[in-house]
Chains A and B, each alone.
Chain A
């Protein structure tokens, strides 16, 4: 028997102060996986910025041409791919021509996959998967859409798009087709000639650089879909009227899916957002409980 040693079991507060953050990681993992396996399907409403974006695109007419710049990489796909699918459906329903380009080197394989999966085939048929809207149609390369490719140069490229788009792409599409052989590109020499510029942006160079370099200078109508962390950075531009619409993050993509009537990855992700944000809030509350309890203990000890 130990007579000289006193066993001091740490109190609950002391044990909580050494709380292993891997429990938080586990809670977050469950928060992400759970709603994907068992959707909660909580309803949500489109925000004013997303509605403004939708209305801007809805005002386009048949035969209009938009420039879509997809400046993103693989990590941004959960937030931006749902928006891309929804906006392309919206454009195809209106028979709007699309010119796609990018300033990010990691984007082309993604964009080429999206072109094969979303732009070229028909993606929405009334009655399928609960879709009730108007059907779209398959888009033909260099007749309904053109993939211009990627150009390195960041702000220099964006600057040049504003004044000489053809020069930027050496007068050719990514597959080598001369732009003067693509009917809807014949008079589209600079961004100003397009009816709308749509930006999918995951960072820099992206929406901010487009607004700073070309929107201000040439007064080009622009809308943007960005990752959620960039939303607050771009809100001032929306408030100033430099962006006609702004979708920030996965929830905004889900709202846009709802507006076009084709729920997809974004809508699934909205559930994950719900639960994930609750986990973060609970972590904050728990951290404060530990903090105040240990402060109280120190005061009274």
Chain B
């Protein structure tokens, strides 16, 4: 059992790690191909991890709901939210016959068209559909409850019938009409499901986006209160930090140039010279630490990621 749980993962880790590392130094084409395949594996595993995460979400939360543990109601909300997003994100219309967005038929006879012209009639199933002809300005497809009728010059045209909101099928087609003919564009514009579907986009725009934006905007307040609390000139270093912070804050804002003409340049100097020097040192240290830790994992010297004995 130890072989499967410990030795085998270590061996696989070592082999893959050495292969990917070697590809950087060895120009042999078979290594390149192997690396490409490994990268593809990594992509697939990363995507599969989402599925695993979903299963784990249920495994972790469902028993707590069943046992009515503290705050179990929020876990119901959590699982319901996950289920709803999964359901609306699935492209249901791809199962079975894909609903058609519509079609255009050309018939002879264009009674309403003036001599030498053809007619386009747009019959859209949705009232607020829009029409673009030859990439021009959009027009409403339904005018006073009646289908839009437009005169077209004989020849080839492109028709685009679509909804202003995302998540509906679009009728996009090219057609050729002769004088006196009528092109009837019957636009079904079915509501779509899936990643670009109507419901998922609505949930993204009106639930996910505002929630994320709200949480992120809290930072503006937290920064001000953290600055009030933390930037106190307790000693020389703190005073230097305080002074630099004020200069950089002012220099970064347009108002800095009004206070002192050279303030933005001083700010850039602080960022480009002392800040960059310290930052590069920390970056190098952290990078070296990361490389050595990674090397330890590849060489099998680090086993904590395999779990306990």
Contacts and interface: CB of A to CB of B under 8 A. Distances in A.
Interface in B197-244: 200-201, 204-205, 208-209, 212-213, 215-217, 220-221, 223-225, 227-229, 231-234, 242
Contacts of B205: 109
Contact of A74 (B209, B224, B225, B250): B209
Interface string A228-266: 100011011001000000000001000000000000000
A74 B216 CA distance: 9
B224 A279 contact: yes
B252 A251 contact: yes
B244 to A, nearest CB: 12
A44 B257 contact: yes
B177 to A, nearest CB: 22
Given A232-B271, A280-B224, A287-B229, A43 B279 contact: no
Nearest to A212: B287
Contacts of B46: 152-154, 156
Interface in A30-58: 32, 42-45, 47-48
Contacts of A239: 272, 276
Contact of A25 (B224, B233, B276): B224
Interface string B165-195: 0100000000000000000000000000001
B231 A167 contact: no
Contact of A152 (B47, B135, B258): B47
Contacts of A167: 36, 40
Nearest to A140: B135
Contacts of B196: 108-109, 112
B12 interface: no
Contacts of A283: 224-225, 227-228
B18 interface: no
Most chain B CB atoms below 10 A, which of A27, A28, A251: A28
B268 interface: yes
Interface string B33-76: 00110011011001100100000000000000000000000000
Given A74-B213, A163-B36, A167-B36, A25 B231 contact: no
Interface string A267-287: 000100110111111011011
A277 B251 CA distance: 10
A132 interface: no
A291 B32 CA distance: 61
A24 interface: yes
Q: How large is the interface on A (under 10, 10 to 19, 20 to 34, 35 or more residues)?
A: 35 or more
Interface string B128-164: 0000000100000000000000000000000000000
A160 B43 contact: yes
A47 B212 contact: no
A159 interface: yes
A270 B256 CA distance: 12
Interface string A148-164: 00011110110110011
Contacts of B231: 284, 287-288
Given A25-B221, A163-B32, A274-B254, A235 B271 contact: yes
A184 B43 CA distance: 26
Contacts of B264: 45, 47
Most chain B CB atoms below 10 A, which of A74, A75, A140, A160: A74
Contacts of B246: 281, 284
A299 interface: no
A291 B46 CA distance: 50
B280 interface: yes
5 contacts: A24-B225, A25-B221, A277-B253, A278-B253, A284-B245
Given A75-B213, A163-B36, 13 more contacts: A29-B221, A44-B257, A75-B215, A75-B217, A77-B213, A109-B200, A109-B204, A157-B43, A163-B32, A235-B276, A251-B254, A276-B220, A284-B227
List of 10 A-B pairs having minimum Cβ-Cβ separation, nearest first: A75-B216, A44-B254, A153-B43, A156-B42, A283-B228, A21-B225, A287-B228, A74-B209, A74-B212, A291-B232
Interface of B: 32, 35-36, 39-40, 42-43, 46-47, 50, 135, 166, 195-196, 200-201, 204-205, 208-209, 212-213, 215-217, 220-221, 223-225, 227-229, 231-234, 242, 245-246, 249-250, 252-255, 257-258, 264, 268, 271-272, 275-276, 279-280, 283
